[in-house]
Chain A
Amino acid sequence: MRNFTLPERELMGSGHLGCQGCGGALAMRYVLKALGEKTIVVIPACCWTIIAGPFPYSSLKVPVLHTAFETAAVAASGVRAALDIQGDTETTVIAWAGDGGTFDIGLQSLSGAAERNENIIYICYDNEAYMNTGIQRSGATPLLAWTTTTPEKTPKSEPKKDIMGIMVAHRIPYAATATIAYPDDFIRKVQKAKSIYGTKFLHVLAPCPPGWRAPSEWAIKLSRLAVQARVFPLYEVEDGERYTLNAPQADEPALPVSEYLKLQGRFSHLTEKDIQTIQGIIDKRWQKLLKLVQS
């Protein structure tokens, strides 16, 4: 166990409107701890539209610009341009979007911003479905998961989209995965992103207890298991080519994916065979990642 100190500053209030155990709420808290006051947050339609608080309240002590669902990256680009032309190059602009706003409807404007290498940090808090509208499947929903639009009889038949692969293919200066179970790794990555010029992309696994059908006190546990079972390995990619693996270690024995799946109601319908299929996909992806790390 490594020692690290969590920055003390608190830029998120306790009166936010997240559900109990919301992984996305804790993720924002860590990000603002890492970035500090000189931060502007751009939020498209997602659960965070609600968590940030209704008018006239705000759960964040930094400026927030709410924007339309598919526009996080480009609205953040606009804020950046306005700050730059007015001489403020110090303030950090982050786009903070859900998986739907990133993998699906917002992918076009995200790709545009990345291609232009806009100087923003784009953070996707991934709860693996459209949670705000009631747990519908997104391009980030895992294979065979239950959602309200992929009922148990016909669970999601497609695997999760490889968003990191997509962003890395843009050859942006920095892309990384993170979770709330590894706050030291998470905060270091946010601070590293802040220190780099250009488009930075963070993919943060953010368990949603109501949507994943799991107890609210398990958000962090599930995040950790996701890493240990290699469902969501922690790694970073610089300039689209230099891969670094953070966790789990390459020589660490893997946790069977069933240990992760069995805690979540959204996977309770899975058969042994289903679990083997999922394990197979995860093993294949892990091998691919190891190759990229070694090359």
Chain B
Amino acid sequence: MTPILTGTKKVVTGNHAVSYGVMLARAQVISAYPITPQTQVVELLSEFCANGTLRAKFIKVESEHSAMAALIGAASAGARTFTATSAHGLALMHEMLHWAAGARLPIVMANINRAMGPPWSVWTDQNDSLSQRDVGWMQVYCESNQEVLDTVIQAYKVAEKVFMPAMLVLDAFVLSHTAEPVEIPDQALVDQYLPPYQPIYKLDVNDPHSFGALAPPDVYMELRYKMHRAMEDALAEWARADEEYHELFGRRYGLIEPYRTDDADLILVTSGTVTSTAREVIDELRAEGRRVGLLKIRVFRPFPAQFVREAVANARKVAVIDRNISFGMGGIFAQEIKAALYNACDRPPIFGFVAGLGGRDITPHVITEIIEYAESHDDPEDLIWVGVKR
């Protein structure tokens, strides 16, 4: 048995940060299928299972669809479960993503954002996870490897509280394959934060029930209403889980993170690793005396609409960077933010930028251009393609 140092710093990749989080959360059943750039997550978990660091069953299935189906079986029988995937793997799971949410199973999954083919690409963008927006999974976009590890643990806390599955999302390569110093929390503290999973109902031969049976129209809608209510409750639960985490481990992330937005005329909205680059740009522009701020969206489902409204209420303009595209409409984060603001009293004009698809770099220079475009134009535009060679 290889002893794992906990409560210490280690230099790990985003993928391995996921594995450490899952180990600390003491997942009991893991099931996964290989896909770049996710594979390292489950390779390390296989090691943990093999050397006894993690006491879990690892079901090495023949597809992602089966990975999710296996976890649905396992979670229905009361186990804490985990899987990880990317892009085509996530798309293949689609039917079972609905199933996990509808069955109210607190499965946790890491999705390493990868662009969808064709043409084949292994590089990052968000179309894979955002295509699953409406399946009933919570979605949390991470910015650093530390946040990735911490989010795995928080995700179990929230998912098991509201009985909805949770997906943490991290950028391919920029995070998944990039090593950063990460504090590996102390196991005893994690155990205190995250006690063993206690399902309200499970498959139990001593108390037999039927799960997922045909639901006629007079009950189906109520079940959907309850799922939505659970998602609403999850907003407060994410905040609470984050606070408790802060008390024990000294770190918190918020559902959204406003950065230098207080007196900002223009607020840039980002998610994922673009946020780190944008933070640098904001600091530089601030040093020049420009009133620009940054809003990071971390929790995307449930959507923290009220927080977003408050965060941008005093801005004169909002510029959203979307590393995704809903063909025929525009960037998806921009749409969500517009939808959140439409009924608000104070709603600044919104510029929607689509950038960095298929892993194209979003450099400080690109971000500066985006900010300058929004600053220099009076009328908002729904969709501005950044850096496309036409």
Per a CB cutoff under 8 Å, which of A58, A78, A84, A115 touches B73? A78
Closest chain A CB from B283 CB (angstroms) = 48
Q: Which residues of B contact A26 (CB under 8 A)?
A: none
Question: Is B145 on the interface with A (CB-CB < 8 A)?
Answer: no
Per a CB cutoff under 8 Å, which of A66, A74, A86 touches B212? A66
Give 24 pairs: A residue, B residue, CB < 8 Å, sorted on A: A38-B205, A50-B214, A54-B216, A63-B205, A63-B210, A65-B203, A66-B210, A68-B96, A71-B66, A71-B96, A77-B70, A78-B29, A79-B76, A79-B203, A81-B31, A81-B59, A85-B56, A85-B57, A85-B79, A86-B77, A108-B62, A108-B66, A109-B62, A109-B66
Q: Which residues of A contact B204 (CB under 8 A)?
A: 63
Q: Which residues of A contact B28 (CB under 8 A)?
A: 82, 85-86
Residue with the highest number of chain A CB atoms closer than 10 Å, among B95, B205, B210, B215: B210
CA distance A67 to B65 in the complex (A): 12
Q: Which residues of B contact A76 (CB under 8 A)?
A: 73
Once the chains bind, are B74 and A78 in contact (CB under 8 Å)? yes
Given A68-B95, A68-B96, A112-B61, also A83-B77 (CB < 8 A): yes
CA distance A85 to B196 in the complex (A): 13
Q: Which residues of B contact A81 (CB under 8 A)?
A: 29, 31, 57, 59, 70, 73-74, 79
Given A55-B214, A84-B57, A91-B205, also A67-B73 (CB < 8 A): yes
Question: Is B264 on the interface with A (CB-CB < 8 A)?
Answer: no
Interface residues of A in 88-123 (CB under 8 A from B): 91, 108-109, 111-112, 115-116
CA distance A103 to B65 in the complex (A): 18
List 6 additional A-B contacts (Cβ < 8 Å) besides A77-B61, A78-B77, A81-B29.
Answer: A54-B213, A79-B73, A79-B74, A82-B77, A86-B77, A108-B63
Q: What 1/0 flags go to B42-78 for Cβ under 8 Å of A?
A: 0000000000000111011111011001111111111
Question: Is A244 on the interface with B (CB-CB < 8 A)?
Answer: no
Question: Is B219 on the interface with A (CB-CB < 8 A)?
Answer: yes
CA distance A150 to B73 in the complex (A): 35
Question: Is A264 on the interface with B (CB-CB < 8 A)?
Answer: no
Closest chain A CB from B301 CB (angstroms) = 22
Once the chains bind, are A67 and B72 in contact (CB under 8 Å)? yes
Question: Is B208 on the interface with A (CB-CB < 8 A)?
Answer: yes
Once the chains bind, are A40 and B63 in contact (CB under 8 Å)? no
Q: Which residues of B contact A82 (CB under 8 A)?
A: 28-29, 57, 73-79
CA distance A106 to B61 in the complex (A): 13
CA distance A109 to B61 in the complex (A): 8
- Chain A contributes a number of interface residues (CB within 8 A of B) equal to 44
**Which A-chain residue is minimally distant from B71 (CB atoms)?**
A78
CA distance A67 to B205 in the complex (A): 18
CA distance A38 to B73 in the complex (A): 17
Closest chain A CB from B198 CB (angstroms) = 12
Residue with the highest number of chain A CB atoms closer than 10 Å, among B63, B69, B73: B73
Given A85-B28, A85-B55, also A79-B77 (CB < 8 A): yes
Once the chains bind, are B208 and A61 in contact (CB under 8 Å)? yes
Given A39-B205, A84-B57, also A74-B66 (CB < 8 A): yes
Once the chains bind, are B219 and A55 in contact (CB under 8 Å)? yes
Question: Is A53 on the interface with B (CB-CB < 8 A)?
Answer: yes
Question: Is B249 on the interface with A (CB-CB < 8 A)?
Answer: no
Question: Is B307 on the interface with A (CB-CB < 8 A)?
Answer: no
Per a CB cutoff under 8 Å, which of B59, B96, B212 touches A116? B59
Q: Which residues of A contact B215 (CB under 8 A)?
A: 54-55
Given A55-B215, A63-B208, A64-B211, also A86-B57 (CB < 8 A): no
Given A75-B70, A77-B70, A85-B28, also A63-B63 (CB < 8 A): no
Closest chain A CB from B294 CB (angstroms) = 42
Given A38-B205, A85-B56, A111-B62, also A65-B74 (CB < 8 A): no
Once the chains bind, are A58 and B209 in contact (CB under 8 Å)? yes
Residue with the highest number of chain A CB atoms closer than 10 Å, among B59, B96, B213: B213
Once the chains bind, are A68 and B76 in contact (CB under 8 Å)? no
Once the chains bind, are A68 and B210 in contact (CB under 8 Å)? no
Once the chains bind, are A77 and B208 in contact (CB under 8 Å)? no
Question: Is A62 on the interface with B (CB-CB < 8 A)?
Answer: yes
Question: Is A185 on the interface with B (CB-CB < 8 A)?
Answer: no
Interface residues of A in 31-57 (CB under 8 A from B): 37-40, 42, 49-50, 52-55, 57
Given A81-B74, A112-B62, also A60-B214 (CB < 8 A): no
CA distance A75 to B59 in the complex (A): 11
Residue with the highest number of chain B CB atoms closer than 10 Å, among A38, A76, A77, A80: A77
Once the chains bind, are B213 and A78 in contact (CB under 8 Å)? no
Question: Is A70 on the interface with B (CB-CB < 8 A)?
Answer: yes
Given A54-B215, A62-B208, also A68-B69 (CB < 8 A): yes
Once the chains bind, are B57 and A74 in contact (CB under 8 Å)? no
Q: Which residues of B contact A58 (CB under 8 A)?
A: 208-210, 213
Q: Which residues of A contact B75 (CB under 8 A)?
A: 78, 82
Question: Is B300 on the interface with A (CB-CB < 8 A)?
Answer: no
**Which A-chain residue is minimally distant from B69 (CB atoms)?**
A71
Q: Which 6 A-B pairs have the closest CB atoms?
A: A78-B73, A112-B62, A66-B212, A82-B77, A71-B69, A82-B79
Per a CB cutoff under 8 Å, which of B61, B79, B203, B205 touches A74? B61
Q: What 1/0 flags go to B172-209 for Cβ under 8 Å of A?
A: 00000000000000000000000000000001110011
